[in-house]
Structure 1
Amino acid sequence: MHLAVYLPLLLPVLAGLAAGPLARRLEPRLATWLLTAAGLILAASSTVVLGLLALSGLVRIPLVAALKDYSPDVIAREDPAAWPASLAGAILLTLAAVATVRLAARRAGALWSAALDAACLPGPDPVVIIDDHGADAYAMPGLPGRIVISHGMLDALDPAGHEILLAHERAHLDHHHYAFLSLAQLSAAANPLLHPLATAVAYTVERWADEHAARHTGNRRAVAETVAKAAVATKRTRNRRRIPTAALGLLGRPAKPGTVPRRVAALLAPPPHNPPLLLLAAGTLLAASGLCALEAAHDLHQFLELAHTH
């Protein structure tokens, strides 16, 4: 296999470095779609390469070669991948598969639990007010989804803030932000180098909801003030934020240090644009990863055909 075949294992490092700038400079909706798709493509490409490396080592086993009628001499002579690379590929592929299955099971359980909790909340209204002095608000996915707001949060905000809060939470439900987060987390489970992309998606979905609220109210400064007030109220009430795993809140889940100030600063700045060069660079990186994975599959196919015909 050519050296370029290993690029899908290295490109996630570059993607991880670029995730933060992309999340900050692109329009949040586009950034969320791009980062989520990038995570899936890069995770799939690296997984394919690991599988091909493992397969190239598997055919060296005499019993496997005999079952498939492969020539041991051709296999030894062509040597598409060194034994250490094949062994490492098999180990990493196994770890990736186990991590992905475990996370998929946990996320499916969390979404199912959130849907049941949402269905069991009192009343038919999609907005549920809970008797809690801690300041909190979050959207729970389900059929239908529900928005949960505490009395503490209502007391901390004025009527205009209430409208902004509801617009933010409705954006989470209407645009299925939990699905983007789940897919980004699955990508990171398959390839830990993609964790920065998953973190960036957690930020961009909040920015997406912020921008939705800003368009709904027509006042970016008011949205920024509401996000800041909610953060201060949550800290003052010392709320433990017992948010369901699949829920999304005004302050994010969980709120990372510095995330709220960055969101406030973004809302106080002009609406973001999409630099063409950044989009071109991201598209080139994803295309290179996919092409390298296809090249690896082509090389291995040719090698197996040669081993079989001889």
Structure 2
Amino acid sequence: MRIAVYVPLLLSLLAPLGGRPLSERCEPRLATWLLTASSLALGAASMISLGLLAVTGLIRVPQLADLGHWSSRSARGADPAQLSIALVAGLLLGGTVIAAARMLWRRTRTLASAAVDAACMPARDGLVVVEDEAPDAYALPGLPGRVVVSTGMLRTLDEPEHDILLAHERAHLSAHHYAFVALAQLGASANPLLRPLASAVTYTIERWADENAATATGDRARVARTVGKAALAAHRTPSRIRTAGAALGILGRRGPLATAGPVPRRVAALLVPPLRRHPALTTATAAVLTAATLATAEAAHDLHLLLQTVGAWR
């Protein structure tokens, strides 16, 4: 097969390099959409590329070639891809399919459990206050979702900061941020090279919620202080462990980016004017996704021609 089949795999190596610039320089809502789309599209394109390469190996096996009325001998001569590459692609494809299926199953179960928990929680205007000395706050997806806040967090923050906290958590629910996280992680499970993109999404959804809170309250500096204050309180008193991925909290401690200091970055972003859409980064992302799509289509066409050729030579 031609070079087109390898393009999505090459782009998967390069795309994570743009994750940090997108999350830091682009408006958070747009950055979340671009990062999620990139993770999902490149993950799917990578799986298709591996599948196409694996097929070139399968048609070289006489017993399998006979099922499609192809000539295995002709396939060995007509396809430039080496058999070892096809075999490796097949093994990698099997692993990615299993990983993606497991991730999808776990995420589905987690969200279903969260929805059941939310439905069982008595709430007032969607707010649930739990008796817990550990400062904690998170959004629990459901129909409807719930904002869960501990009494320890309420005592840590003052009244205006309560409004900021609620605006932040309600932004998570109204914008369905859990769906962005799930889709980005699905793409990363299909292609582990894309994990930096999925991690960046866990940061940009927090930035998105921060900006919504700043817009709702009209005080960016106070939102920055609230984020920092909540993070410091939680650091001193670790909150109880919740089901992984079930909640999206104001503290932004739900992903690998925590080791890179997401809270200081969020506070710094709130102390400057809001970011605007970045045309250059948007264009570059669109170009990458377009190239991956076109290359995948071209590779599929190459395989179609190959199958026609080995079928005609039978």
2:18 corresponds to: 18
The 2-side partners of 1:107 and 1:123 are apart by: 25
1: CA distance, partners of 2:312 / 2:72: 12
Residue identity in the other structure for 2:289: L
In the other structure, the counterpart of 1:183 is: 183
**1:141 equivalent in alignment to 2:144:** no
The aligned counterpart of 1:308 is 311
Structure 2 distance, partners of 1:284, 1:187, is: 18
Q: 1:91-170 counterparts in 2 under 5 A?
A: 91-123=91-123, 125-170=125-170
Percent identical: 55
Paired residue secondary structure (2:30):
helix
What one-letter code is carried by the residue in structure 1 that aligns with 2:177?
Answer: H
1:155 aligned partner, one-letter code: R
Q: Does 1:292 align with 2:305?
A: no
* TM-superposed deviation, 1:244: 5.7
Q: Which moved more, 1:41-50 or 1:242-251?
A: 242-251
Residues 52-91 of structure 1 aligned to structure 2 (within 5 Å):
52-91=52-91
Deviation of residue 209 (structure 1)? 0.2
1:121-151 C-alpha deviation (Å, 9 max, x unpaired)? 1245410111111100001001110010011
Instruction: For 1:52, give the aligned amino acid.
Output: L
Q: Which moved more, 1:138-147 or 1:63-72?
A: 63-72
Q: Does 1:279 align with 2:282?
A: yes
Residues 162-202 of structure 1: per-residue CA shift (max 9 Å, x gap): 00000000000000000000001110100000000000000
Q: Please tell me the root mean square deviation across aligned C-alpha atoms, in Å.
A: 1.3
Q: Per-residue CA shift, 1:212-244, capped at 9, x if unaligned?
A: 000001111110000001011112223344366
Cα–Cα, structure 1 residues 106 and 135, in superposed 2: closer, same or farther, change >3 Å?
same
- Does structure 2 conserve the Cα–Cα contact (< 8 Å) formed by 1:171 and 1:212? yes
Q: Which residue of 2 aligns with 1:263?
A: 266
Structure 1 range deviating more: 23-32 or 119-128: 119-128
The residue correspondences of 1:171-250 to structure 2 (distance < 5 A) are 171-242=171-242, 245-250=245-250
What CA distance in whole angstroms lies between the structure 1 residues aligned with 2:270 and 2:98? 40
Letter in 1 for 2:196: P
Query: Which stretch has the larger CA shift, 288-297 or 251-260?
Result: 251-260
Shift of 1:31: 0.4
Q: 4+ residue stretches of structure 1 with deviation over 6 A?
A: none
Distance 2:86 2:262 in 1: 41
Specify the SS of the correspondent of 1:148: strand
Mapped partners of 2:95, 2:29: distance in 1:
32
Of 68-77 and 234-243, more deviation after overlay is shown by 234-243
Task: Name the SS of the counterpart of 2:224 in structure 1.
Answer: helix
Distance 1:301 1:171 in 2: 47
TM-score (norm 2): 0.96
Any idea what SS the aligned residue of 2:132 has?
A: coil
Aligned length: 310
Q: What residue ranges of structure 1 are gaps of 5+ in the alignment?
A: none
- Distance verdict in 2 for CA 1:244–1:65, change over 3 Å: closer
